[in-house]
C-alpha cells in the first residue's frame, strides 16, 4: 500500500539561479521525490503561475512550493505574503529554500506562515537529505481529493511532464 510520500506530487520551484534549480531538481529526484516539477525564475511569474494568469491558464495548483527568498521583480517574502493571504492559495504548503540562515529571515518567514524554512546545503548529498525529509513529511493539500478544489482543477494532475 502506498502512503502519501509514495504518490507523485506537483511542485513549483521558484528559483532565479539556474544552477540552484538544477541542484534542487537533481536532489529531489535522487531523494526519491516523485512528481511534476515546474520552475519559474521570479516572484511575479510565481504569482502568475499560482493564479493561472498570463500564459499559465492550464497550470495545476502545486501541492508544494519551494520558494527562494532573494528573487527579481518580487522577492520571496512578498510572494509568501500573497500566497498565505489569498483564500484560494493559503493551504498550499510553502517551504523556503534559502542560503540565508539569518535568524531575522527565518523569523520573518514563519511570521508570514511559511510551512518550513530550509537553509540550502552547499553539496548535493546534504541537499538530497533535505529532499528526503520533504518526501517523508508527506506534504499534501488536505481535503483536496474529491472535493470542490479538485473539480475546479486545483489539485494537480497528469498533464505536466513527470521526472
User: What's the whole-model pTM score?
Assistant: 0.77
Is the pLDDT at 162 greater than 70? The verdict is no
Q: Which carries the bigger pLDDT value, residue 137 or residue 113?
A: 113
Domain regions of the chain by residue span = 4-151
CA distances from 75 to 38, 82, 152 (A): 18, 11, 29
35 Cβ contact list (under 8 Å, min separation 6) = 8, 9, 10, 11, 28, 63, 162, 163
Domain topology for 4-151: Rossmann fold (3.40.50)
SS3 breakdown of the chain: % helix, strand, coil, rounded to 5?
Answer: 40, 15, 45
Is the pLDDT at 156 greater than 90? The verdict is no
83 in Cβ contact with 110 (< 8 Å): no
Amino acid at each position: 500500500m502506498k502512503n502519501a510520500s509514495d504518490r507523485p506530487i506537483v511542485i513549483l520551484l521558484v528559483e532565479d539561479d539556474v544552477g540552484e534549480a538544477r541542484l534542487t531538481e537533481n536532489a529531489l529526484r535522487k531523494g526519491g521525490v516523485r512528481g511534476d516539477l515546474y520552475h519559474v525564475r521570479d516572484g511575479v511569474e510565481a504569482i502568475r503561475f499560482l493564479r493561472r494568469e498570463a500564459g499559465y491558464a492550464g497550470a495545476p495548483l502545486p501541492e508544494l512550493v519551494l520558494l527562494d527568498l532573494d528573487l527579481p521583480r518580487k522577492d520571496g517574502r512578498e510572494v509568501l505574503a500573497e500566497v498565505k493571504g489569498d483564500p484560494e492559495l493559503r493551504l498550499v504548503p510553502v517551504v523556503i529554500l534559502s542560503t540565508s540562515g539569518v535568524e531575522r529571515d527565518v523569523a520573518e518567514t514563519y511570521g508570514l506562515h511559511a510551512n518550513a524554512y530550509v537553509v540550502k546545503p552547499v553539496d548535493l548529498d546534504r541537499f538530497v537529505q533535505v529532499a528526503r525529509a520533504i518526501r517523508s513529511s508527506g506534504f499534501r493539500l488536505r481535503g483536496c481529493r474529491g472535493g470542490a478544489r479538485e473539480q475546479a482543477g486545483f489539485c494537480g494532475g497528469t498533464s505536466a511532464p513527470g521526472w
